[in-house]
C-alpha cells in the first residue's frame, strides 16, 4: 500500500466560494492516479484536507499539496504583490552620497543603465527576472482565480495555467534582494547610503511573490478548470508508468496513455508528453559544455571596473571576494564565494556526474542521486546574485572621476553560465536515475513512446 505523509487537518467553511469549498476528492468517488515526475511510480492520491500533502511512496517527491481557500488565498496574495511592485517601481530605490556628490536611482535603472554600457543582454535578463516575468505570473494568477471564484473559467485559462509552471524558475525577486544587500554592504564604508521607499516595497513584493507561488494548489486548480478525465483503463499502481505505456503530465499531473511512434499531448492541458524527455542526456551534456566554456571568461575577465579619484581598477569575481575579505566583510565574501564559485562549479560537477552514472544505474543509490538532483535544481538560480550586484552598483555609483563603476565583459559570460546551467537541470530527466541501465541508455540515445 502506498504510504502518504499527511499533515494537520482543517475544514473549509461552507460560506466559501464553490471552488474553495469543494476539493477534488469531494467531487469524485473514484481513485485519482498520479505518476511521479521524478521516479515514474504510479500511485493513488488519498483524500486530502487543507494543510495536507501526498508524497510519492518511492522517492518522497511531493505529488500534491492541499491549501485552505486556494483560489481566494492565491488571488489575494497576487493582488498584494502587484501593489507592492507598483510601489517599488514608482519611488526611489536607493541613493548614495560621497564628498557632497551623490546619485539616486529607481528600480528600473538597474537594467536601463546597463544598456548605456553596451550590455543589453544582461539588462534584459535583469528586468525580465525581477519585474516583467513576475508581473506576467501575478496577472495570470489573478485572471485564473477570478474566473474560478465566479464559477466560470475566463478565456485562455488553460493556456495561462499551463504557463505558470514554466515561469516559476525564472522569477528571481528574492535573489535580487540578496544582491541588493550585498551591494549596499560593499559600498557602505565608502559612501553614505539611504534606502528609499522602493527598496522596502520591493522587499515586501519579493516575500509576497514567494508566498503566491507557494499558495498555488495546481491539483485543485486544474481540476476546477478542466475536471479530471479517467486514467487509462487497466492502469496499475505500484509500478512505473513507462512499463504500462503511460506517462504523467508534467504540468497538470494527469496520467495519460502513449501511442508508440506518435506525438502525444495531455488530454486535459494539452502539454507535450514523453515517456522520457527525448535526448535528455545529449541536451544536458551540450548545455553543460557550453556553460563550462562560458565559465572561463566569466572568471578570467573583469566583472566590473571601479573608478575612485581618477584611478581605475578592474576586479574579477575572485578578486571581488578577496577585496571583501580584506575589508573584513567575511559574511558578504562568503555569500559571493558560495553563489558565484561553489554553486556554479558544484552544479556543473553534479549534473556531469549524474549524466555519467545514469547509464550504469544501481538501485541502492537512486534516492541519494535524486536528492542530489533536487539540490542542484534548487540552487542554480542563486548564482545570479553577482549579476544583480553589478547591475545595482553600475546604476548607483555614478559620480564621474570621483567614484564610478562600469560593468565588465564577465557580467554577460557569468549570466550565460547561470542560464545554461538552469537549462541543463531542466533538460535532465530524473526518471532516468530510476530506470534499469539498459533502458536508461536506450532512452537517452533515442526517444521512448511519444517522444518523436
pLDDT tens-digit map of 73-86: 999 999 999 999 99
Q: How far is CA 160 from CA 77, 81, 143, 168, 225, in A?
A: 18, 19, 9, 13, 11
| Domain end (from 204, 220, 236) | 220
* Same domain (yes/no): 429, 297: yes
* Same domain (yes/no): 203, 342: no
pTM summary value: 0.87
How remote is the C-alpha of 107 from its chain's centroid? Answer: 22
The count of structural domains within the chain is 2
* Same domain (yes/no): 133, 215: yes
Quick check: is 445 in a domain? no
* Same domain (yes/no): 95, 168: yes
Quick check: is 57 in a domain? no
- pLDDT-based confidence at residue 89 (cuts at 50, 70, 90): very high
Angle between helices 343-357 and 280-300 (to 10 degrees): 150
Predicted confidence at residue 435, as pLDDT, reads: 86
DSSP-derived 3-state class of residue 392: helix
Predicted confidence at residue 23, as pLDDT, reads: 76
Quick check: is 294 in a domain? yes
* Same domain (yes/no): 298, 430: yes
* Same domain (yes/no): 292, 177: no
Centre a 10 Å sphere on the Cβ of residue 31 and count the other Cβ atoms it contains.
13
pLDDT tens-digit map of 323-380: 778 777 788 888 888 888 999 999 999 999 999 988 765 556 889 999 999 999 988 8
- Please report, in angstroms and rounded to a whole number, the separation of the first and last CA atoms in the chain: 35
* Same domain (yes/no): 284, 186: no
Nearest partner of 152 among 19, 22, 21, judged by Cα: 19
* Same domain (yes/no): 325, 432: yes
* Same domain (yes/no): 310, 424: yes
Asked whether residue 105 carries a pLDDT value surpassing 70, the answer given is: yes
* Same domain (yes/no): 83, 214: yes
* Same domain (yes/no): 212, 296: no
Which structural domain range is residue 75 located in? 70-220
Quick check: is 365 in a domain? yes
| Domain end (from 220, 239, 259) | 220
Quick check: is 266 in a domain? no
* Same domain (yes/no): 313, 412: yes
Quick check: is 303 in a domain? yes
pLDDT tens-digit map of 161-185: 999 989 999 999 999 999 999 888 8
Quick check: is 205 in a domain? yes
Quick check: is 153 in a domain? yes
CA distance 295 to 300: 9
| Domain end (from 171, 189, 220) | 220
Q: Is 339 exposed, middle or buried (0-12, 13-18, 19+ CB in 10 A)?
A: buried
Amino acid at each position: 500500500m502506498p504510504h502518504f505523509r499527511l499533515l494537520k487537518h482543517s475544514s473549509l467553511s461552507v460560506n466559501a466560494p464553490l471552488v474553495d469549498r469543494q476539493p477534488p476528492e469531494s467531487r469524485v468517488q473514484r481513485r485519482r492516479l498520479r505518476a511521479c515526475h521524478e521516479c515514474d511510480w504510479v500511485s493513488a492520491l488519498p483524500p486530502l484536507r487543507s494543510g495536507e500533502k501526498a508524497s510519492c511512496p518511492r522517492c518522497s517527491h511531493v505529488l500534491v499539496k492541499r491549501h485552505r481557500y486556494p483560489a481566494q488565498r492565491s488571488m489575494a496574495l497576487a493582488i498584494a504583490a502587484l501593489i507592492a511592485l507598483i510601489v517599488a517601481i514608482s519611488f526611489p530605490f536607493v541613493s548614495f552620497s560621497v564628498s557632497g556628490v551623490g546619485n539616486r536611482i529607481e528600480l528600473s535603472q538597474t537594467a536601463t543603465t546597463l544598456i548605456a554600457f553596451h550590455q543589453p543582454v544582461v539588462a534584459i535578463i535583469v528586468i525580465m527576472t525581477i519585474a516583467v516575468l513576475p508581473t506576467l505570473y501575478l496577472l495570470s494568477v489573478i485572471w485564473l482565480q477570478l474566473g474560478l471564484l465566479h464559477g466560470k473559467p475566463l478565456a485562455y485559462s488553460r493556456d495561462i495555467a499551463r504557463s505558470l509552471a514554466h515561469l516559476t524558475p525564472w522569477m528571481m525577486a528574492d535573489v535580487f534582494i540578496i544582491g541588493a544587500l550585498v551591494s549596499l554592504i560593499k559600498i557602505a564604508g565608502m559612501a553614505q547610503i539611504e534606502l528609499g521607499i522602493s527598496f522596502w516595497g520591493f522587499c515586501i513584493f519579493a516575500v509576497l511573490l514567494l508566498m503566491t507561488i507557494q499558495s498555488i494548489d495546481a491539483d485543485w486548480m486544474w481540476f476546477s478548470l478542466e475536471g479530471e478525465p479517467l486514467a487509462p483503463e487497466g492502469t496499475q499502481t505500484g509500478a512505473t508508468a513507462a512499463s504500462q505505456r503511460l506517462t504523467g503530465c508534467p504540468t497538470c499531473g494527469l496520467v495519460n496513455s502513449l501511442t508508440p511512434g506518435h506525438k502525444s499531448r495531455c488530454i486535459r492541458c494539452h502539454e507535450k508528453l514523453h515517456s522520457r524527455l527525448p535526448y535528455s542526456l545529449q541536451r544536458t551534456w551540450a548545455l553543460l559544455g557550453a556553460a563550462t566554456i562560458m565559465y572561463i571568461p566569466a572568471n578570467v575577465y573583469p566583472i566590473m571596473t571601479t573608478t575612485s579619484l581618477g584611478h581605475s581598477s578592474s576586479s574579477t569575481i575572485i578578486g571581488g571576494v578577496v577585496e571583501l575579505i580584506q575589508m573584513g566583510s567575511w559574511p558578504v565574501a562568503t555569500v559571493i564565494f558560495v553563489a558565484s564559485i561553489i554553486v556554479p562549479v558544484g552544479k556543473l560537477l553534479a549534473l556531469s556526474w549524474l549524466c555519467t552514472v545514469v547509464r550504469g544505474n544501481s538501485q541502492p543509490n537512486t534516492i541519494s542521486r535524486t536528492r542530489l538532483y533536487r539540490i542542484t535544481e534548487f540552487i542554480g538560480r542563486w548564482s545570479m546574485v553577482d549579476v544583480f550586484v553589478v547591475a545595482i552598483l553600475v546604476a548607483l555609483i555614478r559620480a564621474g572621476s570621483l567614484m564610478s563603476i562600469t560593468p565588465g565583459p564577465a557580467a554577460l559570460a557569468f549570466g550565460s553560465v547561470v542560464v545554461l546551467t538552469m537549462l541543463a537541470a531542466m533538460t535532465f530527466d530524473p526518471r532516468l536515475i530510476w530506470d534499469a541501465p539498459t533502458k536508461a541508455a536506450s532512452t537517452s540515445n533515442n526517444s521512448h513512446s511519444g517522444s518523436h
